[in-house]
Amino acid sequence: MRAVIVAIGVAFLVSLFCTPIAIRVFTRLKAGQPIRAEGPQMHQGKKGTPTMGGVVFILATVIAYVAGHLALTTLPDAQIAQVEPTITALVLLGLMVFCGAVGFIDDFLKVRKRHSGGLSARGKLLGQILVGAVFGVVALWFPSTMTDASGAVTNTETVGSTTLSFIRDIPALDVTKIGAVIIFIFVVMAATNGVNLTDGLDGLATGASVMVLGAYAVIAFWQYRHWCADPAYTANPDNYCYTVRDPLEIALIAGAAAGACVGFLWWNTSPARIFMGDTGALGLGGLIAGMAMSTRTILLLLIIGGLFVIITMSVVIQIISFKTTGKRVFRMSPLQHHFELAGWSEVNIVVRFWIIAGIGVAIALGLFYSDFLANMG
């Protein structure tokens, strides 16, 4: 727990105090956010606000991960504390950094062209597929070699699983390694685009991501405290345990990312002094996808990230309706812009959507804990 708290604190402080520096640097570089002409007219006043702020909280998360591991060296049981960096960390941080890199290219092109059209949709899609495929393969083909004091291997789990999962793996739904990688690519695409579509109002995506990442920190730490690789816990045969890999690493990274987003939110809330841009949105989406895979809660992501799902579906519904009937269901999509045009203030929309995000997180955590209670001996 100490390492997770250290990581959260370091990430928060780095993000809080480095974001103003990023604001000055990006302002000097004239890296302002272009605003779509077809978007809500009230957004035109945001033109020129520095973008690519996601660089700050991605960097803060990586720094906090290192700080958290330094804290782990003081723990008495290095074997269970997972002092050494793991493949799990490589996958999770790699997804955040490289999905963020795809977004950075998009942001850079927007700033350079002084136009809201950056990387093409095909280019962005190919980038997401490539990142998802590479880290999906790493997650499925590199098992843990964790050993106990006698040298016996106690954990051979991979980061990902060949079966679909809801609150835990569903053995009957084995999709093979290739199928699991394909599904993970889809999850990466869905999560990155979901966060990106939600990032339309000041602080909306940042606050929602804090809740989702916080939920994954809780889930992963609970899995760590009830881990099948922990002999002190599994000594009692009636104890229900989780067959995951490196849960403390997952909790540490999720907590660090949540803390970094809180620090960034200080400057990103309305009126925003900096935007996360596609750099931050795609980076967060990639990390959230990795969290779902590594905690074996792929389908639970639909509830944990309920706000992202709702906003994404509003776009899908709008497109299908317009192409099939020529009529629009919403005044404008994504959904937050519909309410803007309906006369709601930006702050009201953000707070109410945060409440929706919180409800999704609360339901998901309730289901997760209920499953644990149901499986205890």
CB atoms within 10 A of CB 198: 29
Q: Is 196 annotated as a binding residue?
A: yes
**For residue 215, which of 169, 167, 170, 177 has the smallest C-alpha distance?**
167
Q: Is 246 annotated as a binding residue?
A: no
3-class SS of residue 171? strand
CB atoms within 10 A of CB 54: 31
Angle at 99 between CA 137 and CA 42, to 5 degrees: 150
The one-letter amino acid code at 220 reads: A
**Residue 146 backbone dihedrals phi, psi, to 5 degrees:** -65, 130
DSSP state of 173: E
3-class SS of residue 37? coil
Dist. CA 282–CA 288, nearest whole Å? 10
DSSP state of 238: T
Contact 202, 271 (CB under 8 A): yes
Question: In whole angstroms, how large is the CA radius of gyration of the chain?
Answer: 21
β-pair partners for 169: 165
Q: Where are the alpha helices (DSSP H) in 29-86?
A: 54-72, 78-81
The one-letter amino acid code at 278 reads: D
CB atoms within 10 A of CB 278: 30
Dist. CA 257–CA 6, nearest whole Å? 12
Dist. CA 359–CA 166, nearest whole Å? 18
3-class SS of residue 82? coil
The answer to whether the Cα torsion of 204, 35, 54, 20 is positive or negative is negative
Give binding residues for Mg(2+) as ranges. 196, 278
Q: Please enumerate, by residue number, every residue annotated as part of a binding site.
A: 196, 278
